Amino acid sequence: MKYYNDEILSLYDEYLMSEIIEQKIFCIDKTSSISPIISPVDTIQSRLVENIEELGLKYLLNYQTQKIGDVMNLFSFFDLYPYINKTEPYKESIKGISLNNSDKSSEISRIMNDRKSIRKFSGKQISFDNISNILLNVTNSRFNEEDGFWHRNISSGGGLYPIDIFLYAHNIEKLDRNFYKLNPINKRLSIVDLDSYSKIKNIFPSSFIIDFKHMGGIFLFSFDYLKVYQKYGELTLSLGLVEVGLIAESIHLLSTSHGIGTCDIGGFDKPLCESVLKLDGINNHAVYAIVFGDRIC
Ligand SMILES: Cc1cc2nc3c(=O)[nH]c(=O)nc-3n(C[C@H](O)[C@H](O)[C@H](O)COP(=O)(O)O)c2cc1C
């Protein structure tokens, strides 16, 4: 339904209208600030969504209190893993219709078959051109005359695009060591904060598994929960995390095609990451990261 006359609405009017709508729909409702719950997080949460039992948001708000390895000691798990992994083929039926991978030599097949998690890097500087191409190819937008909306290369639940991409540049040509935010429509990287780059060590503590010292940088992903919640309610968490997955895999494949190695990082210091990226940690959550660097093998 349209509330205005297309012909008299200038681009600037459209911009103003979108600003008003965003503020009206997505702001924290200050009128319901009295909460029976004393913890600050729950107080704020109850202002955001009427139902404080909203599970997806609760999960994201409490994410930082969960520790990996709680279920089983990680070292015991590493001992067991080879056995778990090697039983995979025995679980499958050998009956059924046989499939034929006939396009194995196509460009897309070659790149997909070449992708693997890379955790050791040569330390060689990453080209700015490659990083620009990766970031723009995952976010390129075009206006669709048929439906009158902007669409990106990667699909998004309801076309809401709630995932923002940040870049920590560690060793990238033309970029100072810093955190940047990608502005996909204007195709620019803007510095988030000049002084916070040293905090990277605390967000991703040194690990014997991942060679952070020789990396080119880290892609970081934030999720604007409330933007999706207004439309999709309880589907929100699932839609957001699936969308991060779509973006992440595209980044893996594009990076592979440029000779850049990548590895997902599921766990990191979420509250610290959010403070560095200037995310409120309530509407907007740091949810995922990918480390990258010059690929040795
Ligand atoms: C959701 C997700 C989270 C992951 N988190 C980490 C991580 O924190 N650290 C790490 O070294 N690898 C991480 N990985 C990489 C997996 O360990 C890796 O994909 C798996 O061992 C299979 O190996 P491959 O990617 O080389 O095929 C993650 C992968 C996924 C999909």
Torsion 38-42-45-50 (CA) sign: negative
User: For residue 265, which atom of ligand 1 is closest to its CA?
Assistant: 8
Say whether pLDDT at 163 is over 70.
Answer: yes
Residue boundaries of the structural domains of the chain: 6-64, 116-294
Nearest CA owner, ligand 1 atom 20: 117
Looking at 35-39, 129-133, 207-211, 228-232, which range is the least confident one?
Answer: 35-39
Nearest CA owner, ligand 1 atom 30: 264
- 129 CA from centroid of ligand 1 (Å): 26
- 211 CA from centroid of ligand 1 (Å): 14
- Summarize the confidence of residues 160-175 as an average pLDDT: 97
- pLDDT confidence of residue 59: 86
Pairing between strand 217-224 and 163-169? antiparallel
| Average pLDDT across the chain, whole number | 84
**Ligand 1, pocket-test mutation among 263, 292, 295, most atoms within 8 A of CB:** 263
Say whether pLDDT at 31 is over 60.
Answer: no
The closest of 22, 68, 27, 19 to 47, measured between CA atoms, is 27
Residues forming a β-bridge with 263: 291
- pLDDT confidence of residue 39: 37
Residue 27: pLDDT band (50, 70, 90) is: very low
Nearest CA owner, ligand 1 atom 3: 266
Question: CATH number of the domain at 116-294, out of 3.30.930.10, 3.40.109.10, 3.30.70.141, 3.40.30.10?
Answer: 3.40.109.10
Place of tokens 């709630």: 162
User: For residue 210, which atom of ligand 1 is closest to its CA?
Assistant: 11
- Summarize the confidence of residues 165-175 as an average pLDDT: 98
CA distance 227 to 209: 36
Looking at 47-56, 158-167, 185-194, which range is the least confident one?
Answer: 47-56
* Per-residue model confidence as pLDDT tens digits over 189-246: 999 988 888 999 999 987 778 999 999 999 999 999 988 988 888 899 999 999 999 9
| Pocket lined around ligand 1, Cβ cut-off 6 Å | 116-117, 119, 209-210, 263-267
C-alpha distances in Å from residue 95, one per residue of 87, 89, 99, 102, 184: 18, 13, 12, 21, 47
- Summarize the confidence of residues 133-142 as an average pLDDT: 96
Most confident of 31-40, 74-83, 192-201: 192-201
